[in-house]
Every structure is written in structure tokens, then in C-alpha cells.
């Protein structure tokens, strides 16, 4: 228009600026304040990173990725960065439990319950938001096989096939179980009312108590 050129990015920046100002004004009437250091601007999809914007004299930083409630959100919409982060965290949990999981007095069933409760829950946190590619599924399967083999005491020179590892543990590969587990988690989160959340928290607590009792019984019997 005349000597000015308008693009979708300019329009999006203008709309984002207006939304933040409107939200800030509405929140102030309720005695609420926006945490500007935690407020970020991100372009999801294609195109370059948008410029920083200023709202009420506060600079809203434009970022390529950011950590949202423990989940790494990337502008390209891919889950690989978050998946890599989750694997690192799950490995750290596995390392911290190494002494417990190597205890010969615990049964395999108890060790698998610990693995599914304390390790897979960390690995698959926010997995319902992932866009999983075949390479990502293989990465999950590699992690799964590595630690199942540790629980079974299988060494690399034992030449045990992956199918046999799954058969011994009674588990399925991550590429098969992931879509089911993630969808169940998503439906559960969307469907929880306040009362349901309290019930779910109570059930989770009781499950952990039962897990502890099972470990104690294994040690006593051993």
C-alpha cells in the first residue's frame, strides 16, 4: 500500500501486540499482573522468528523454543528436542534407582512396576503433545530395550533378540504402546473434574504405597 509493504508476519505481530495489551488491561482490573519475564513470543510452523514486541514498556522476547511446564516447545513443531530432554531426565532417574533395581532380593515383577511407575512416567511426560516420527519411535524403543535388558541382567554378548526381551518382561515396544498410553493420558486430563483429580491423586498415592509394600515383601521373603 503506497510505499509500505504488509506481510503476514507484520499482521501477526500487530495482533499479538494488541492481544497482550487487551489482556493486560483486563487482568489489572482483577488485581492480576502478567509475568513479563515468563511471557514469550513464538512463531509455530514455517517462516522466520518474529521480532520482539513491546507491551506496556515491557519487552516480550521472541524465541525459537521455550520450556512450558516442563515440556520443551519448538517452533518447528517437532518433538525431538523435548524427547531428547525427557530421555536425559529418565536416564537420571534410572541411575538414581540403580542400587534398588540391582537388588537380587526384588522380583522382576516389582522391578518392572518401578520401571513403569517412576521411569516411564518421566519419559512420557507431555507425550500426548508430541508429533512422533519413525526416527523418534526408534529412539524410544532403543531406550526401552536398553533398560529392560539391564533389569533382566542381559549383556550385549548374550545375543538376545528384542522380541525375546519383550516376551520375558510381558511389555510391548514403545512404538506400539506409546499412542495408546498418550491418548489415554490426554483423555484422562481433559476429562478430570476437581473431584476426579482428587480421586486420581488418591489412587496414584495408593499405587505407590502398594509398590512400596511389594518391595518390602520381596526383601522380607528374600
* Same domain assignment for residues 112 and 186: yes
* Same domain assignment for residues 183 and 105: yes
* Same domain assignment for residues 106 and 45: no
Give a yes or no: residue 190 inside a domain. Answer: yes
Give a yes or no: residue 68 inside a domain. Answer: no
Cβ pair 174, 137 in contact under 8 A? yes
All 3 cell numbers of residue 68? Answer: 512450558
* Same domain assignment for residues 184 and 92: yes
* Same domain assignment for residues 56 and 114: no
Stronger pLDDT, 35 or 210, i.e. the higher one: 35
* Same domain assignment for residues 88 and 191: yes
Give a yes or no: residue 70 inside a domain. Answer: no
Report DSSP letters for 12-77, one per residue: HHHHHHHHHHHHHHHHHHTT----GGG-EEE--SSSPPPPPEEETTEEEEEESEEEETTEEEETT-
Give a yes or no: residue 39 inside a domain. Answer: yes
Give a yes or no: residue 194 inside a domain. Answer: yes
* Same domain assignment for residues 51 and 84: no
Q: Which among 19, 37, 63 is the end of a domain? A: 63
Across all residues in the chain, what is the average pLDDT? 75
pLDDT digits (tens, 9 = 90+) for 183-211: 444 444 444 444 444 444 444 444 444 54
Q: What domain range is 40 assigned to?
A: 8-63
Give a yes or no: residue 33 inside a domain. Answer: yes
* Same domain assignment for residues 144 and 55: no
- What is the pLDDT at residue 67? 82
* Same domain assignment for residues 56 and 85: no
* Same domain assignment for residues 141 and 39: no
Residue 72 pLDDT exceeds 90: no
Residue listed under C-alpha cell 505481530: 13
Residue 9 pLDDT exceeds 70: no
Give a yes or no: residue 52 inside a domain. Answer: yes
CA 189 to each of CA 21, 186, 192, 208: distance values in angstroms, whole numbers, following the listed order? 31, 5, 6, 20
Residue 66 pLDDT exceeds 50: yes
* Domains held by the chain: number: 2
* Same domain assignment for residues 202 and 148: yes
pLDDT digits (tens, 9 = 90+) for 101-141: 989 899 999 999 999 999 998 998 888 888 888 899 899 99
Whether pTM > 0.85 for this model: the answer is no
Amino acid at each position: 500500500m503506497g510505499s509500505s509493504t504488509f506481510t503476514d508476519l507484520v499482521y501477526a505481530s500487530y495482533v499479538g501486540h494488541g492481544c497482550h495489551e487487551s489482556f493486560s488491561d483486563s487482568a489489572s482490573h482483577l488485581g492480576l499482573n502478567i509475568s513479563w519475564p515468563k511471557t514469550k513470543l513464538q512463531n509455530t510452523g514455517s517462516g522466520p522468528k518474529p521480532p520482539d514486541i513491546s507491551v506496556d514498556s515491557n519487552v516480550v522476547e521472541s524465541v525459537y523454543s521455550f520450556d512450558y511446564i516442563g515440556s520443551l516447545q519448538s517452533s518447528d513443531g517437532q518433538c525431538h528436542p523435548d524427547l531428547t530432554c525427557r530421555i536425559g531426565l529418565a536416564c537420571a532417574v534410572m541411575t538414581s534407582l540403580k542400587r534398588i533395581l540391582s537388588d537380587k532380593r526384588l522380583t522382576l515383577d516389582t522391578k518392572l512396576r518401578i520401571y513403569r511407575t517412576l521411569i516411564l512416567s518421566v519419559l512420557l511426560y507431555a507425550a500426548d503433545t508430541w508429533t512422533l516420527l519413525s526416527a523418534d519411535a526408534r529412539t524410544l524403543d532403543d531406550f526401552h530395550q536398553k533398560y529392560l535388558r539391564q533389569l533382566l541382567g542381559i549383556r550385549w554378548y548374550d545375543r538376545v533378540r528384542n522380541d525375546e526381551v519383550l516376551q520375558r518382561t510381558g511389555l510391548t515396544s514403545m512404538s506400539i504402546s506409546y499412542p495408546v498410553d498418550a491418548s489415554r493420558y490426554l483423555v484422562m486430563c481433559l476429562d478430570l473434574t476437581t473431584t476426579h483429580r482428587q480421586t486420581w491423586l488418591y489412587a496414584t498415592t495408593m499405587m505407590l504405597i502398594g509398590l512400596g509394600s511389594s518391595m518390602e515383601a520381596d526383601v522380607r521373603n528374600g
